[in-house]
Amino acid sequence: MIKNLQKLLAIPSVTGTPEVFDALACVLDICKELGFRTKNVDGKLGYAEIGEGEELMGILCHLDVVPAGEGWTCEPFAGTVKEDRIYGRGVMDDKGPAMAAIYAMKDVLESGKKLNKRVRIIFGVMEECGDWEDMEYYKSCEEIPSFGFTPDADFPAIYGEKGILMAVLSMDAAKAGFLEIAGGDAPNMVAAWAKGKLLDGSVFQETGKAAHGSTPEDGENAITKLMEKAAARDCHFAKVYMDKIGWCLDGSGCGIGLSDSASGGLTFNAGKISMDDGKVKLAVDIRYPVTYAEEDVVSKLCDNFADAEIAVEIEAAMKPVYMAQDGFVISKLMEAYREVTGDDTPPQLIGGGTYARAMDNIVAFGPAFPGRELTEHQANEWIFTEDLEKAREIYRLAIEKLACE
């Protein structure tokens, strides 16, 4: 397994480069050598399959990686093994987990246990760019799995992910009250800086504390700090901001304070502000509870800001992921995890987004174990070889429980 993983890690398959298809050819060759049925789907993505039966179980992986970036002390595209770790871009996200899943399928195939379902591992090549056109193409022309998992997050199983909306709230600059305004780096980050200049010449500059947009309570929003001071100087946009957003992180000020028993409350993060095309534009990140639909949030948001002459535009949306904790899939995944690890940590529900959103009835399952350092997207990305072997064992057992019993 490690040898073939090193072969895959040596391919610099950065999203959007031709090398992603070299990585696809590599894994399909490996799977074919292991006795799987394989298919390259029109040069856009591919899959490998074992087992028999009408029902199809899916395992979603991706072979594309983010750029290596600076700061490496070893070759990023080599799969260097040092002591108890293997290093390389994509070793955690997602080539290492993909290889663990491949070899788990091999173990099931060689065990002689009869599969009553087909198990298909699907290899995407566009996960890191966020639009997932490859998976959309797959769904348009190939059989869609009834259920499955993606080894692209954390152990134990993640049974739910809140819905995600990226929206832009805009107001004509002439009405807003700012001559200049800028702040934050991305909608899904708590703004760590903000600066602005009002029509009366007042200048403000604020600093905050960055955090992920799904957990705004972990940060300190510099945009809100600036707006609080600007509102005191009668700045129209800032007054609306403090009235409808302010320091409230659950969206209740702008009419979307939704909550459910399954996933808790909505979170609202003002992540980035700018002045473009004669408008002040505020980019926000909204994570809404799993039992609600996008329309439940958008309609209320638009209605609430209409009287303030603020336009709402939805730039990106991802629907929630949710499976019952006591349902068949989560129960079997948790059985496999607990039998191998002895860890009774319950399944998790998160505000972040994983590859599970690419298809219905897919949940995130590994490879990061509780308490382990998360190294994906960082210089010197690494994973313990022991953890890869343990993930392989968990995935083997999960496949047996889901597709053999």
Where would I find the beta strands (DSSP E) of 262-352?
Answer: 264-265, 267-276, 279-288, 311-318, 321-322, 348-350
Distance CA 301, CA 266 (A): 13
Helical (H) or strand (E) element with 37 = strand 37-41
Verify whether residue 54 is a known catalytic residue: no
Distance CA 194, CA 206 (A): 5
Pick from 368, 357, 373, 355: which is nearest to 394 by CA? 368
Distance CA 229, CA 206 (A): 10
Pick from 135, 96, 179, 13: which is nearest to 385 by CA? 96
The catalytic residue among 49, 94, 127, 128 is 127
The catalytic residue among 19, 49, 64, 220 is 64
Query: Helices 95-111 & 2-9, crossing angle to 10 degrees?
Result: 150
Q: Is 180 helix (H, G, I), strand (E, B) or coil?
A: strand
**CA–CA distances in Å: residue 316 to residues 70, 128, 289, 319:** 30, 15, 17, 10
Q: Is 302 helix (H, G, I), strand (E, B) or coil?
A: helix
Q: How far is CA 348 from the centre of its chain?
A: 14
Verify whether residue 127 is a known catalytic residue: yes
Active site residues: 64, 127
